[in-house]
Amino acid sequence: MAFLVAGTLRVAAQMADAQDSLGRKGKYSLQGPRVALILSSPGVPTAMVAALGGVFQALGFESCERRESPVQGFLEELTWFREYLDARGGPMGCALVALVAPSGQLRQPQRLVQELSCCGALRGCPKVFLLLSAGHGAAPEPGAFLACLGELCGRSHHWSLLQLLTELFCRVAEESTGGTRCPILRSSLRGALFLGGVEPRGPEPEPSLSAQYDLSGARAALLLAVTQDRPGAQYDLEVLGGLCQALGFETTLRTDPTAQAFQEELAQFREQLDTRRGPVSCALVALMAHGGPRGQLLGADGQEAQPEALVRELSRCQALRGCPKIFLLQACRGGNRDTGVGLTALPWYWCWLRAPATIPSHADILQIYADAPGSSSGSPTPGSSDQADILSVYAATEGCVAYRDEKGSDFIQTLVEVLRADPGQDLLELLTEVNRRVCELDVLGPDCDQLRKACLEIRSSLRRRLCLRA
């Protein structure tokens, strides 16, 4: 009897690990099957689909579904794929989906991403989306993008996927005409993802000087925070200001800016950098305020400022050309309150086990845009150098609430804690750890008595490793 109980508990523990898929060391375990889908519209070159298949195989996906449909039918195909995975039974290890359509036609990819996020078999597992433009005018040229990706996958098994993508973005930019093209990634991953199946057994070697940004020049930080009617905001300012100074940033702090002042402060910050005598190597901008229903920032006067316009303002800075520009956005991006997802039924033996924690609904997603999407009229050309070397970190995913209390926000407080502990590590990897810790928290909003979840969104067009050690 004892043998049967021990065996049952051992199997249950394995099920718990598989359901979460995130190893206890901050790395996805990928114990289940890896599933892949190539979804392309009619007219996509056969060679491009074959190249995708080769990349998927290099990443360890032995089998791959291939479906062809007009762009209008992509959602239906993703629904079929989700139902197909749920019907297979048992948890998956990872899903990789390539969406290929003529340039400009794939206009609302988030709806497609959300469809696969509802897949029960993929709960807690990484879901990777590769979005490619095909046809005349695609930027960068998808064949070159895939060839470079396949080559890196073949020889860099020990790299995490985020490390691999940073190197890929650098090569794509260097090989495109004039070096003006750069892809973008959007991540809510909670851990390191090693798709090559080989994790480093010892400490990773230090990156070469050419593989990371040169931060020998001046570092400048601008902190803009609305503190009125935002309890805890002052604590965020104090700890973030202290972190910036510890990392060698010359820091400017402005409190309670109006919506117009947000724009004016960014413009003045850019002009000051452009008129400096010495070189500038990095800029950090923190934007902290209430958020509007569509992600706007609300100034102290209650008026709206568009965060995309503030990012564009700094991307015009000539002194920062080719240098990393970091944006931290602590604000709500809508009114949705995420209750998270977890196991729907707990067997009797779960009282002896640590049940997997509830996971934010928008976690574990990585989107790779080979052709960076424009956001609105007047935005930089998709994939252009104006969008390169930018790292934006949002305290909440699109449409969701960002949480804060009298002790500060979960995002800023956790960010400072993680960066102070290990400032020499690659910033993208550190931010993934920040997201893992934020996703583990259960929070109570000011207007409800039910526990909620939060999840960061990390957007990056960085082309080198970024280490902020002073």
Per-chain mean pLDDT for the chain: 84
Alpha helices in 89-204 (DSSP H): 109-117, 142-155, 161-175
Nearest to 34 by CA among 116, 112, 110, 91: 91
**Separation between Cα atoms, residue 438 and residue 340, nearest integer Å:** 13
Which of 21-25, 168-172, 357-361, 455-459 is predicted with the least confidence, judged by mean pLDDT?
21-25
Name the segment(s) of the chain with CATH classification 3.40.50.1460. 2-138, 216-340+383-460
- Which tens digits make up the pLDDT trace of 9-18? 444 444 444 4
Out of 332, 400, 455, 467, pick the active-site residue. 332
Q: Is 244 a catalytic residue?
A: no
| The Cα angle at residue 113 between residues 110 and 115, in degrees rounded to 5 | 115
Say if domain 216-340+383-460 classifies as CATH 3.20.20.140: no
CATH topology of domain 2-138: Rossmann fold (3.40.50)
Pairing between strand 290-291 and 280-288?
unpaired
Cis peptide before 140 (omega within 30 of 0): yes
pTM: 0.88
Q: H-helix or E-strand containing 405?
A: strand 404-405
Own/partner pairs for 42-48, CB < 8 Å, 24+ apart? 42/68, 42/70, 43/102, 43/134, 43/135, 44/68, 44/100, 44/101, 44/134, 45/134, 47/143, 48/100, 48/132, 48/134, 48/142, 48/143, 48/146
The amino acid at residue 89 is G
- Which tens digits make up the pLDDT trace of 27-48? 898 888 899 999 999 988 888 8
Place of tokens 């523990």: 13
Out of 94, 182, 290, 400, pick the active-site residue. 290
Nearest to 193 by CA among 386, 60, 7: 60
Q: Is 332 a catalytic residue?
A: yes
- Which tens digits make up the pLDDT trace of 212-254? 999 999 999 999 999 999 999 999 999 999 999 999 999 999 9
The whole-number average pLDDT for the span 393-403 is 94
Place of tokens 């707990």: 346
Q: H-helix or E-strand containing 37?
A: strand 34-40
